[in-house]
């Protein structure tokens, strides 16, 4: 099963390679990884999407916690949370297809961020399903390139009672 794990780490050099080294050294897989500073510049957040049965996920959590630079590990899987990813999609366009592409972009509330005579570059944000759905609709026009950020996640605030 797929898990989105958020890791707070001290913002020191080499931390990323400690984490990625742990995954590769122990044969855990990484589907995506994103890193950035938090509000506190001394701390970074990594969001890793990984896959594994319960035993593997338990090991991943424990092994991450064991690293000296890791402050906190949260597995979002069983928690109410929001996930987002951003994708840039460069799609072939010509006079006949432009209108249709633009309407797809519109439906998904995406944006055209670059235009050339033969292509549109579309920016879309959302969860994986949304990005996949749009990708599939654009595919018949000819996708030249896709770049994705990898997933980020945040716990939902508790609802007021």
Partner 1 sequence: MKKIGAQIFIDCLLKEGVDTIFGFPGGAVLPIYDVLYDAPLNHILVRHEQGAVHMADGYARASGKPGVVVVTSGPGATNTVTGIATAYMDSIPMVVFTGQVPTALIGNDAFQEADIVGITRPCTKHNYLVKSLEELPRIVKEAFYIATTGRPGPVLVDIPKDVLMAFADVKHPEKITLESYQPNYKGHPGQIKKAIDMIMASKRPVVYAGGGVILSNASDELQTFITKLGIPTTTTLMGLGAFPGTHPLFMGMLGMHGTYCANMAVTNTDCLIAIGARFDDRVTGKIDEFAPFAGIIHVDIDPTSISKNVKVDIPIVGDVKNVLKELIKGIPGPKGVKEFKKNLEEWHAQVTGWENTHKLSYKQDPKGKIKPQYVIEKLYEATKGDAIVTTEVGQNQMWAAQFFKYDKARTFLTSGGLGTMGFGFPAAIGAQIAFPNKTVIGIAGDGSLQMNIQELATAVQYKLPIKIAILNNMVLGMVRQWQEFFYDKRYSHTCISVAPDFVKLAEAYGAVGLRAKTIEEVEKVIKEAMSIKDRPVLMDFKVDQFEDVYPMVPTGQPLNKMLLV
> How far is residue 160's CA from residue 64's CA, in Å, rounded to a whole number?
33
One residue of 63, 92, 125, 135 binding partner 1 per CB under 8 A: 63
∠ Cα 17 128 73 (to 5°) = 40
Residue 16 C-beta: closest distance to partner 1, Å: 11
Q: Does the footprint of partner 1 cover residue 57 (CB under 8 A)?
A: no
Largest CA distance in the chain: 58
Q: Does the footprint of partner 1 cover residue 13 (CB under 8 A)?
A: yes
With DSSP H G I counted as helix, E B as strand and the rest as coil, what are the percentages for the chain, rounded to 5?
30, 40, 30
One residue of 33, 46, 70, 110 binding partner 1 per CB under 8 A: 70
One residue of 16, 30, 35, 71 binding partner 1 per CB under 8 A: 71
> How far is residue 43's CA from residue 52's CA, in Å, rounded to a whole number?
27
Binding site for partner 1 (CB under 8 A): 9-10, 13-14, 17-18, 21-22, 25, 55, 58-59, 62-63, 65-71
């Amino acid at each position: 099963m797929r898990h989105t794990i958020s890791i707070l780490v001290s913002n020191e050099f080499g931390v990323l390679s400690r984490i990625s080294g742990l995954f590769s050294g122990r044969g855990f897989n990484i589907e995506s990884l994103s890193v950035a500073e938090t509000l506190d510049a001394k701390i970074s957040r990594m969001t890793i999407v990984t896959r594994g049965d319960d035993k593997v996920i338990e090991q991943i959590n424990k092994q991450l916690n064991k690293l000296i630079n890791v402050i906190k590990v949260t597995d979002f899987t069983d928690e109410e949370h929001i996930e987002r990813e951003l994708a840039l999609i460069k799609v072939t366009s010509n006079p006949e297809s432009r209108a249709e592409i633009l309407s797809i972009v519109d439906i998904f509330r995406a944006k055209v961020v670059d235009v050339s005579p033969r292509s549109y570059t579309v920016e879309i944000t959302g969860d994986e399903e949304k990005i996949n759905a749009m990708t599939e609709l654009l595919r018949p026009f000819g996708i030249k390139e896709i770049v994705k950020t990898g997933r980020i996640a945040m716990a939902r605030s508790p609802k007021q009672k």
